[in-house]
A and B are shown apart, each in its own frame.
Chain A
Amino acid sequence: MTSTPTTLPKRDQSARLENWARAFYRFRQSWLSVIGLAIVVMLVAVALFAPLIVPHPEHVAGGTNTAARFTAPGADFWFGTNALGQDVFSLVLVGSQVSLFSGLAVVIIAIVVGGLVGAIAGYFGGWIDEILMRITDLLLTIPSLILAMAVAAALGTGVTNMIIAIAITWWPAYARLVRGEVIGKKEEQFITAAKALGASWPRILGRHILPNIMSPIIVKASLDMGFAVLTVASLGFVGIGVKAPTPEWGTLLSVARADMPDYWWTAVFPGCAIFLAVLAFNLLGDGLRDVMDPKARR
């Protein structure tokens, strides 16, 4: 077979379709991210419906049952009971509310504040960029956990204060990310075209640049959700953050330390909940990164 057809086959697939096929291939390859997504969906469902499904809502509200204290895990109390006789299973389920809600709030605040600072610095450049980025860099050198602890302690206990405290230490990372992306995009043709058409800078940033840099932000946010949950629990563990009776995983773990090692279940189940939540968001974030940002694949 040495003859050549004079007419050659045309390309039958559109480029976009091929991209989707590749993305799907990558996602299918990392079945771990599918598991991550499944756990995240489950956690969100638990957080939303926890008050309805917990077996002992009275314990969540702060009620105690000293007659049944330190019951080992069993049919009545799946995760056992703690020093106050409260059902650990109920506490852990409801604890997901504080963790997920605060984690989400921290990430959103960090994206909004950091995104704004980064976008302005990157778009205008010059001395505005210089000043904003110097401050950002300085904040990045400060140990974030200590800063968050100090702020949270000064503001007083409570979910809102804790969220503010963590968000203060988190926005600089987003400012760096967004600034870099904006600088990369602002020289592109379509931005020059929009400028030539007389679009104002908020419009250019909001309508033309922002939609084009969402991928890395979403990827970072999904990875950060895990670490935000971890930080919330860390603050709870060192005794700064949400206070009882509101159930929170880190606080539960911190209180349970006193009952180790004999009543291990009081600590192990909240700990596993933190681990599972952080793991799930990490898996999801990894998967999203593979699909949305293949160049940054690590």
Chain B
Amino acid sequence: MTLLDIKNLNLSMRSFEGETQILHGIDLKVERGEIWGMVGETGSGKSLTGLSVSRLIPPATGRYLAGSIEFEGRDVLKAGEKEMRALRGRKIGMIFQDPTTNLNPVFRIGTQLVDVALHAGHADPTVLGLEPGASSRDLKKAAKRVAVEMLDKVGIPKAAERIHDYPHQFSGGMRQRVLIAMAMIGKPDLLIADEPTTALDVSVQAQILKLIHDLVAERNIGVLMITHNLGVVAQICSHVAVMYRGRILERGLVTDVLKKPSHVYTQALLNSIPTAHTKRGELRGLGGVMPEVQ
């Protein structure tokens, strides 16, 4: 069964300027073991595609005009809120861009990690290494143990102690590791990572990408990596989809698309990356503007 199958997704968003259609017929299939990179400029609709998979766009502002998002064969756009909650954190993990704002500042990181683990454990105790039907006391104990293990796994030194620390006591890179641990603690089958390295130092970026890559390889899960950075795509993705103004212009294996881009826009995007061989004055920006999304 296909892990994630997005068919003809059309989404419009409401703001005070009126309703604007953001996604125009997105089609995308993600299988286990594939790391899909979604590239495009700010406002091209790539983040909203990611949020749609977990159905996190508030119904008051976003409206699906057509299409379906099938996760393991079930259409999430037709699922109830309870059903969605069972998927979130357990079947679908998410990582967002800014590690400074995505951790709750007034709680210990352990509290947040354990809560996610507990949620996943309630749905499926085996995630925490327990038999089905385990008591809630056992679940709590196991959640704490697994939280420390997971922190250790994402490379936080002295995980058993640091679990009692607050987010502000960690560096940006370490915080993103904590968020990755939170996203992966429920042993999800699909990971959606929205610009996971954009807010980080270049030196830290590579470490985080390697961490995600290793975890994915170990657990054989599917990944939707949303980024505007073709360098990131080239480093860890197996496939890439290029988005522009709510449409996927071209898709395929990373090696094919980056070497022989067939679309003018992809070529322009590739040309806009400065390399060591770029001469002064040769660097190109892209013309035009994105439609505004609030």
Q: Interface residues, chain A, CB within 8 Å of chain B?
A: 1-2, 4, 6-11, 22, 25
Contacts and interface: CB of A to CB of B under 8 A. Distances in A.
B199 interface: no
Contacts of B263: 4
B288 to A, nearest CB: 2
A8 B287 CA distance: 7
7 contacts: A1-B24, A1-B247, A2-B249, A4-B244, A4-B249, A11-B289, A25-B16
B288 A9 contact: yes
B265 A10 contact: no
Contacts of A9: 288-289
A10 B265 CA distance: 17
Contacts of A7: 287-288
A205 to B, nearest CB: 36
Q: How would you classify the secondary structure of chain A's contact residues: helix, strand, loop or mixed?
A: loop
Contacts of B16: 22, 25
Given A8-B288, A9-B289, A10-B289, A2 B247 contact: yes
Closest 5 CB pairs of A and B: A8-B288, A25-B16, A4-B265, A8-B287, A11-B289
Q: How would you classify the secondary structure of chain B's contact residues: helix, strand, loop or mixed?
A: mixed
Contacts of B24: 1
B264 interface: yes
Interface string B242-270: 00100101000000000000011100000
Given A2-B249, A10-B289, A11-B289, 13 more contacts: A1-B247, A2-B247, A4-B244, A4-B249, A4-B263, A4-B264, A6-B264, A7-B288, A8-B287, A8-B288, A9-B289, A22-B16, A25-B16
Interface in B277-294: 287-289
Contacts of A22: 16
B5 to A, nearest CB: 20
A36 B220 CA distance: 62
A265 B264 CA distance: 80
Contacts of A1: 24, 247
Nearest to B24: A1
Contacts of A11: 289
Interface string B124-140: 00000000000000000
Nearest to A5: B288
A11 B292 CA distance: 10
Contacts of A2: 247, 249
Contacts of A25: 16
B266 to A, nearest CB: 10
A12 to B, nearest CB: 10
Nearest to A29: B16
Given A1-B24, A25-B16, A8 B249 contact: no
B27 to A, nearest CB: 11
Contacts of B244: 4
Nearest to A10: B289
B97 to A, nearest CB: 22
Nearest to B245: A4
Interface in B132-183: none
Contacts of B264: 4, 6
B257 to A, nearest CB: 15
Interface in B37-55: none
A2 B246 CA distance: 11
A28 B24 CA distance: 32
Nearest to B265: A4
Nearest to B266: A4
A6 B24 CA distance: 19
A8 B247 contact: no
Contacts of A10: 289
A4 B244 CA distance: 9
A8 B265 CA distance: 12
Contacts of B287: 7-8
B140 to A, nearest CB: 39
Interface in B45-95: none
Interface in B101-125: none
A1 B287 CA distance: 20
Nearest to B16: A25
A243 to B, nearest CB: 53
A9 B247 CA distance: 17
A116 to B, nearest CB: 39
Contacts of A8: 287-289
A2 B264 CA distance: 12
Contacts of B247: 1-2
